[in-house]
Amino acid sequence: MNDIRRIMVVATDIKHSRETVHSGVSLARKYDAELVVLHVEHDPFGVDGWNLPFLSVDEEYKALLKEAKKNLEKVIQVESGSGLQVKEVIREGEPIGAIRKVVEEEKIDLLIFPAHEESRLEHFLFGRINEAIIRRLPCSILLLKQEADA
C-alpha cells in the first residue's frame, strides 16, 4: 500500500456512520492525512429508477437528503474535534458510480466503508454493494464489519 495521504469514509446511515467516521478520524490523525466523508443518497424510485406511482416521493426524497446532511454534520462535528479538517461531500445517484467518481476526483488513497450483511431489501434495491466496491475502486479499501439490521 502506498502512503496514505487522503482517506475517504462512506457514511451510509446515522447508525453505521458514527463508528465509520470515528475510524476515519482516527486513521487520518495517525497518518496525518486529509479526511473526506461521503454520503450517497440513492433514490431507486426516481427518474433513473423504476418510476413507480408514489405520491410525493420527490418531496420525501428531498427531505431525506436534508436529513442526511444534518445527520452527517452532527457525526462529523462530534468525531472530528481537535482541529482536524474534514471535507463533507453529499452526492445523489447510484452508489457505486458516485463513490468511484468521488474517489477519483479527490484522489483517495484509502476508502473506509461499512461492510455489513446486506438484507434482502438492500440487495433488491441496491445490488451487492460490498462486492462491487471491492472489485471496481482504484484505491485500497478498509471494510468495517457491522451487524445487519433485521
* Confidence at 125, pLDDT banded by 50, 70, 90: very low
More confident residue, 56 or 18: 18
The domain segmentation of the chain, as residue ranges, is 6-146
pLDDT in tens, 49-91: 444 455 456 677 677 777 777 877 777 777 667 678 889 898 8
pLDDT for 123 beyond 90: no
Single pTM value for the model: 0.74
Look at residue 142 and tell me whether its pLDDT is greater than 60.
yes
Question: Greater confidence, 135 or 146?
Answer: 135
Handedness of CA 85, 63, 131, 135 (dihedral sign): negative
Question: What band does 147 get if pLDDT is binned at 50, 70 and 90?
Answer: low
Buried b (16+ CB within 10 A) or exposed e, 51-64: eeeeeeeeeebeee
d(C-alpha 145, C-alpha 16), whole Å: 10
Q: What is the CA radius of gyration of the chain?
A: 15
The pLDDT of residue 62 = 72
State which fold the 6-146 domain adopts: Rossmann fold (3.40.50)
Checking if the pLDDT of 103 tops 90, the result is yes
Show the cell assigned to 70.
Answer: 444534518
Within a 10 A sphere around the Cβ of 39, how many other Cβ atoms? 23
Give the residue from 129, 70, 141, 146 showing the smallest Cα distance to 103. Answer: 141
